[in-house]
């Protein structure tokens, strides 16, 4: 098949340029190529597209060609040769970086020598294109191997399995989905990152309520020393989660609204931290609670944005279970504040929240992601939930110290159960392989 060559020129074609184009066309045709004129140099991107020629020869200035080559980002789809006056060193460097295959003087060169030189440009470009393709393939294989190794590590850590079994899972999923193992591995890593981000954001909802609950315990003298230690731990946990979220890939690559949601969480946390650093009185505690509710709302918005961004149905159960942590802390917090602040309406407002906990427990028990481990944790959660309700009833009217302590400790025990259960869902095979 004859070589296909397109000839381009400056936007303003002078007699000298037209003569040069004609000479090049004749030289190429005598050498057996199919050469045709294609218009101005500015049309290079269009002319080099489908159906792509084997070569584009341009009779123009270096500046015009550089501007035309810019959109191709250094990788034109065919050899591009320039015929012009001698080039300055800076011009040569720029054009070579933009993908120029060769330069030839627009006058003073014999026709057969010009045709041979343009053929050399084509051969050089083909060799370099093959080398780029091979390099890209090797890099792709190396990148794929990295994704596979990382995905095997995720599966091994999450499921307690060996490397061979982890690879069999990946290979089986790839065959089932008609994808490469590397593509499945990348999806596994991304699913793991999304689940982690949702879990971390969900923890911030819980911590907003836990911090005020622990402050209320200290003010009421309920396990005050232990509450202080737990409050310090919760404060550090908030900061650790915020630092982690700021650096995690789902948020680093997230659209502006999701990043704005994280910024709102940071602002709400700064306000709550400032309020909690003050000496807590009933009035100060009420102010801290308002700021905690603002953090809860912003953390909820961030979690929902992440769940939507993850676009995996299996992530819903991670969010659902994580929200239970917040609810049990909020129940205990509002029950304690109802007494400390003399606000019985808080207790009356608990019923919808209690119904939400019950409904979510049922939904989790029916979820398709259940395993022996999760069923055992859900049974423990229901037992502990009954103890919390018993403690809650004991805080009505003139609450006893024992009832308030039972309420506080049961909410802590439930938090531990739901924390472990959320982590179990986060690392479940269904979520990771979703």
- 149 occurs within a structural domain: no
Q: Are residues 394 and 300 in the same domain?
A: yes
- 211 occurs within a structural domain: yes
Question: Which residues are bridge partners to 102 per DSSP?
Answer: 81
Q: Which of 36, 34, 5 is nearest to 22 (CA)?
A: 36
- 152 occurs within a structural domain: no
pLDDT above 80 for 315: no
Share of the chain above pLDDT 70, in %: 95
Q: Are residues 304 and 411 in the same domain?
A: yes
- 356 occurs within a structural domain: yes
- Residue 158 and residue 189 in contact, taking contact as beta carbons nearer than 8 Å: no
Domain limits for position 189:
181-432
Enter the tokens of residue 363.
Answer: 């939904």
Q: Are residues 248 and 113 in the same domain?
A: no
Task: Give the pLDDT of residue 365.
Answer: 87
Q: Are residues 386 and 314 in the same domain?
A: yes
Q: Are residues 187 and 129 in the same domain?
A: no
Q: Which of 217, 162, 241 is nearest to 336 (CA)?
A: 217
**Mean pLDDT, rounded, for 418-427:** 84
Which range is least confidently modeled, 259-263, 407-411, 419-423?
Answer: 419-423
Task: Give the pLDDT of residue 44.
Answer: 79
- 233 occurs within a structural domain: yes
Q: Are residues 124 and 191 in the same domain?
A: no
Residue position matching structure tokens 């407002």:
349
Task: Give the pLDDT of residue 52.
Answer: 76
Task: Please state at what angle helix 111-159 crosses helix 163-177, rounded to 10 degrees.
Answer: 120
Q: If pLDDT is split at 50, 70 and 90, which confidence band does 267 have?
A: very high
Burial string for 368-403 (b: 16+ CB within 10 Å, else e) reads: ebbeeebeebbebbbebbebbbebbebbeeebeeeb
pTM of the model: 0.67
- 150 occurs within a structural domain: no
Convert the pLDDT of each residue in 381-410 to its tens digit: 999 999 999 999 988 877 788 889 999 999
Q: If pLDDT is split at 50, 70 and 90, which confidence band does 73 have?
A: confident
Burial string for 164-188 (b: 16+ CB within 10 Å, else e) reads: eebbebbeebbeeeeeebbebbbbb
Question: DSSP letters of 328-368?
Answer: HHHHHHHHHHHHHTT-HHHHHTHHHHHHHHHHHHHHHHH-T
**Which of 5-14, 38-47, 378-387 has the largest mean confidence?**
378-387
Enter the tokens of residue 112.
Answer: 């057969």
* Mean pLDDT, the chain, integer: 88
Q: Are residues 215 and 121 in the same domain?
A: no
Which range is least confidently modeled, 9-18, 298-307, 341-350?
Answer: 9-18
pLDDT above 60 for 253: yes
Which range is least confidently modeled, 188-192, 259-263, 285-289?
Answer: 188-192
Final residue before a domain boundary, out of 133, 148, 173: 133
- 18 occurs within a structural domain: yes
CATH number at residue 108: 3.40.50.2300
- Residue 296 and residue 326 in contact, taking contact as beta carbons nearer than 8 Å: yes
Convert the pLDDT of each residue in 94-138 to its tens digit: 999 999 999 999 888 898 998 999 999 999 999 999 998 888 888
The SS3 of residue 54 is coil
pLDDT above 70 for 233: yes
Which range is least confidently modeled, 108-117, 122-131, 285-294, 314-323?
Answer: 314-323
Enter the tokens of residue 171.
Answer: 């290979």
Q: Are residues 185 and 76 in the same domain?
A: no
Share of the chain above pLDDT 90, in %: 48
- Residue 44 and residue 13 in contact, taking contact as beta carbons nearer than 8 Å: no
Q: Whole-angstrom Cα distance, residue 57 to residue 62?
A: 13
Convert the pLDDT of each residue in 132-176 to its tens digit: 888 888 887 788 888 888 888 878 877 778 888 888 888 887 787
The SS3 of residue 281 is coil
Enter the tokens of residue 10.
Answer: 């400056």
Q: Is beta strand 55-59 parallel, antiparallel or unpaired with respect to 4-9?
A: parallel
Q: Are residues 210 and 87 in the same domain?
A: no
Q: Are residues 106 and 190 in the same domain?
A: no
Q: Are residues 207 and 73 in the same domain?
A: no
- Residue 195 and residue 318 in contact, taking contact as beta carbons nearer than 8 Å: yes
Convert the pLDDT of each residue in 75-84 to its tens digit: 899 999 999 9
- 141 occurs within a structural domain: no
Q: Are residues 119 and 22 in the same domain?
A: yes
Q: If pLDDT is split at 50, 70 and 90, which confidence band does 327 have?
A: very high
Task: Give the pLDDT of residue 182.
Answer: 84
Task: Please state at what angle helix 372-394 crosses helix 350-366, rounded to 10 degrees.
Answer: 160
- Residue 62 and residue 87 in contact, taking contact as beta carbons nearer than 8 Å: yes
Convert the pLDDT of each residue in 296-305 to its tens digit: 999 999 999 9
**Total number of domains constituting the chain:** 2
Final residue before a domain boundary, out of 100, 115, 133: 133
């Amino acid at each position: 098949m004859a070589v296909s060559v397109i000839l381009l020129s400056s936007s303003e074609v002078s007699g000298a340029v037209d003569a040069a184009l004609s000479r090049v066309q004749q030289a190429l045709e005598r050498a057996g190529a199919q050469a045709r004129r294609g218009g101005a140099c500015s049309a290079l991107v269009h002319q080099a597209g489908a159906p792509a020629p084997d070569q584009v020869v341009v009779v123009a200035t270096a500046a015009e060609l550089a501007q035309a080559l810019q959109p191709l980002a250094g990788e034109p789809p065919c050899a591009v040769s320039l015929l012009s006056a001698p080039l300055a060193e800076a011009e040569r460097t720029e054009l070579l970086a933009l993908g120029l295959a060769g330069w030839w003087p627009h006058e003073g060169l014999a026709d057969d020598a010009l045709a041979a030189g343009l053929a050399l440009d084509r051969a050089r470009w083909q060799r370099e294109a093959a080398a780029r393709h091979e390099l890209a393939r090797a890099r792709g294989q190396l990148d794929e191997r990295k994704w596979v190794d990382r995905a095997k590590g995720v599966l091994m850590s999450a499921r307690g399995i060996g490397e061979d079994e982890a690879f069999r899972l990946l290979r089986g999923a790839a065959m089932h989905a008609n994808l490469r193992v590397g593509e499945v591995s990348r999806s596994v890593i991304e699913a793991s990152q999304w689940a982690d981000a949702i879990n971390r954001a969900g923890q911030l909802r819980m911590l907003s309520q836990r911090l005020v609950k622990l402050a209320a315990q200290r003010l009421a003298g309920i396990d005050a020393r232990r509450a202080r230690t737990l409050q310090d731990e919760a404060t550090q946990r908030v900061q650790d989660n915020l630092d982690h979220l700021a650096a995690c890939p789902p948020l680093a690559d997230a659209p502006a609204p999701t990043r704005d949601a994280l910024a709102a969480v940071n602002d709400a946390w700064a306000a709550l931290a400032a309020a909690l650093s003050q000496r807590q009185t009933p009035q100060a505690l009420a102010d801290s609670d308002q700021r905690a509710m603002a953090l809860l709302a912003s953390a909820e918005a961030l979690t929902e944005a992440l769940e939507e961004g993850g676009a995996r149905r299996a992530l819903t159960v991670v969010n659902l279970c994580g929200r239970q942590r917040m609810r049990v802390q909020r129940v205990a917090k509002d029950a304690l504040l109802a007494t400390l602040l003399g606000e019985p309406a808080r207790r009356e407002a608990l019923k919808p929240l209690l119904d939400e906990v019950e409904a979510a427990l049922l939904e989790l028990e029916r979820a398709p992601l259940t395993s022996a481990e999760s069923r055992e944790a859900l049974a423990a959660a229901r037992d502990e939930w009954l103890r919390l309700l018993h403690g809650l009833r004991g805080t009505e009217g003139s609450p006893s110290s024992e009832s308030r302590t039972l309420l506080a400790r049961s909410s802590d025990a439930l938090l531990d159960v739901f924390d472990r259960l959320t982590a179990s869902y986060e690392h479940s095979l269904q979520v990771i392989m979703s």
